[in-house]
């Protein structure tokens, strides 16, 4: 059927005055009116976006504007084999170069270091009730997180330790972790898979989980083999820090998703609000006393992550994802 415009959801040609899409039922007129009222948004300042992002940690805050049409775009069915292969390569290169064969010699420490991050990541992935992300792309971001841990180890030794101190690690690690998510969000092949802030949270969490597991191996092995801490104690302590790494990267990823949902496109500067908050909390975690870290920063961060996820799910429901979520097959 020929027409004057295409449906935002299924790409079917429609008459210009169509109220609904005759193919999928999408509310065409209602969408057009919302976009018209929205108008052309100016690029908000990084400071404003950082404040908004921080407030989203404190309370369950919905986005205040109509979403861009890009949240409904469907990824074209193309092979994702390259991402599956890259996920494996990135993970094992990160482990192999960082630890040689030690990660295999002490495979129990390796598994223990990744166990809790993977469980938390699975929980976050399952929070996406309307449009689950392809496990291959989640795995790719996980692999990138492990590889970024290798890069962070090098940069921390030449920048953080001599110039920034322990508190400055977040300035190195948070941008590295989220860079892989940014590349997915900008990829010509995968950018339509990256729809909104819930996707940003999930992919960011995956990068954080990959990073956490790689870092955990070193700390667990040091605590047990060199300092004679009980293995269960070392694993428990490092698992908590691993959960924090997941949370920090999820916060950074959300900012990319907000930009995609509100403007329909992502700029490099869109990483800054989330990175600034993540690095700031990371700084406090590394520098304040253990009691403050565990009994104040930890619950605040986890509560904030929960608020971000809940608000993003609410937004998708409000946008009609229950019926019009992009239908993307792996």
Q: What is the pLDDT of residues 150-185, one digit of tens each?
A: 999 999 999 999 999 989 999 999 999 999 999 999
Same domain, 33 and 167: no
Task: Supply the range of the domain harboring residue 189.
Answer: 46-324
Q: Is the pLDDT of residue 39 over 70?
A: no
Q: Is the pLDDT of residue 10 over 80?
A: no
Same domain, 231 and 255: yes
Q: Considering the domain boundaries, does residue 100 fall inside one? A: yes
Query: What would you measure as the largest C-alpha separation in the chain, in angstroms?
Result: 74
Same domain, 110 and 7: no
In percent, how much of the chain has pLDDT > 70? 91
What is the pLDDT confidence band of residue 40, given thresholds at 50, 70 and 90? very low
Same domain, 111 and 247: yes
Q: Considering the domain boundaries, does residue 329 fall inside one? A: no
Only one residue has tokens 């972790």, namely 177
> What predicted TM-score, i.e. pTM, was given to this entire model?
0.87
Question: Please, what is the Cα angle at 155 between 151 and 157, to 5 degrees?
Answer: 120
Q: Is the pLDDT of residue 222 over 90?
A: yes
What pLDDT, in 10s, does the model give residues 96-137? 999 999 999 999 999 999 999 999 999 999 999 998 999 999
Same domain, 24 and 62: no
| pLDDT in the model for residue 106 | 97
Q: Considering the domain boundaries, does residue 124 fall inside one? A: yes
Sign of the C-alpha dihedral computed for residues 307, 310, 313 and 317 taken in this order? negative
Same domain, 21 and 80: no
Same domain, 3 and 62: no
| pLDDT in the model for residue 48 | 92
| pLDDT in the model for residue 328 | 63
Mapping DSSP onto H, E and C, the string for 213-274 reads HHHHHHHHHHHHHHCCCCHHHHHHHHHHHHHHHHHHHHHHHHHHHHHHHHHCCCCHHHHHHH
Same domain, 22 and 133: no
Q: Considering the domain boundaries, does residue 23 fall inside one? A: yes
Q: Which of 47, 43, 14, 50 minimizes the C-alpha distance to 31? A: 14
Q: Is the pLDDT of residue 41 over 50?
A: no
| pLDDT in the model for residue 83 | 96
Same domain, 13 and 94: no
Q: Considering the domain boundaries, does residue 77 fall inside one? A: yes
Q: Considering the domain boundaries, does residue 330 fall inside one? A: no
Same domain, 218 and 244: yes
Q: Considering the domain boundaries, does residue 115 fall inside one? A: yes
| pLDDT in the model for residue 34 | 60
Same domain, 311 and 205: yes
Domain total of the chain: 2
Q: Is the pLDDT of residue 2 over 50?
A: no
| pLDDT in the model for residue 108 | 97
- In angstroms and rounded to an integer, the radius of gyration of the C-alpha atoms of the chain is 21
Kindly state the DSSP code that residue 13 receives in the 8-state scheme: E
Same domain, 50 and 23: no
Q: Structure tokens of 244?
A: 């924090």
What pLDDT, in 10s, does the model give residues 272-311? 999 999 999 999 999 999 999 999 999 999 999 999 999 9
């Amino acid at each position: 059927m020929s027409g004057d415009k295409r449906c935002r959801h299924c790409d079917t040609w429609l008459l210009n005055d169509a109220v609904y899409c005759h193919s999928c039922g999408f509310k065409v007129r209602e969408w057009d009116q919302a976009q018209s009222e929205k108008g052309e948004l100016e690029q908000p300042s990084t400071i404003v976006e950082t404040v908004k992002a921080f407030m989203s940690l404190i309370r369950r805050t919905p986005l205040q504007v109509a979403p861009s049409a890009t949240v409904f775009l469907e990824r074209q069915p193309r092979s994702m084999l390259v991402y599956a292969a890259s996920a494996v390569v990135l993970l094992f290169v990160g482990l192999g170069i960082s630890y040689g064969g030690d990660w295999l010699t002490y495979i129990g420490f390796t598994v223990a270091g990744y166990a809790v991050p993977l469980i938390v990541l699975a929980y976050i992935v399952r929070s996406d009730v309307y449009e689950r992300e392809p496990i291959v792309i989640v795995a790719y971001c996980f692999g990138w997180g492990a590889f970024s841990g290798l890069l962070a180890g090098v940069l921390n030794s030449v920048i953080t330790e001599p110039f920034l101190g322990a508190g400055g690690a977040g300035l190195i690690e948070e941008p590295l972790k989220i860079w892989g998510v940014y590349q997915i969000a900008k990829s010509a092949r995968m950018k339509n898979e990256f729809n909104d802030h819930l996707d940003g949270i999930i992919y960011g969490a995956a990068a954080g989980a990959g990073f956490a597991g790689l870092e955990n191996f070193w700390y667990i092995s040091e605590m047990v083999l060199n300092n004679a801490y009980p293995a269960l104690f070392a694993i428990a302590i490092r698992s908590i820090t691993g959960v924090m790494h997941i949370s920090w990267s999820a916060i950074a990823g959300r900012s990319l998703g907000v930009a995609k949902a509100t403007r329909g496109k992502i700029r490099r500067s869109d990483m800054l609000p989330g990175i600034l908050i993540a690095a700031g909390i990371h700084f406090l975690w590394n520098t304040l006393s253990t009691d403050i870290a565990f009994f104040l920063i930890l619950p605040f961060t986890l509560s904030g992550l929960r608020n971000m996820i809940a608000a993003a799910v609410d937004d998708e429901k409000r946008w009609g994802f229950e019926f019009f979520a992009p239908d993307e097959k792996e």
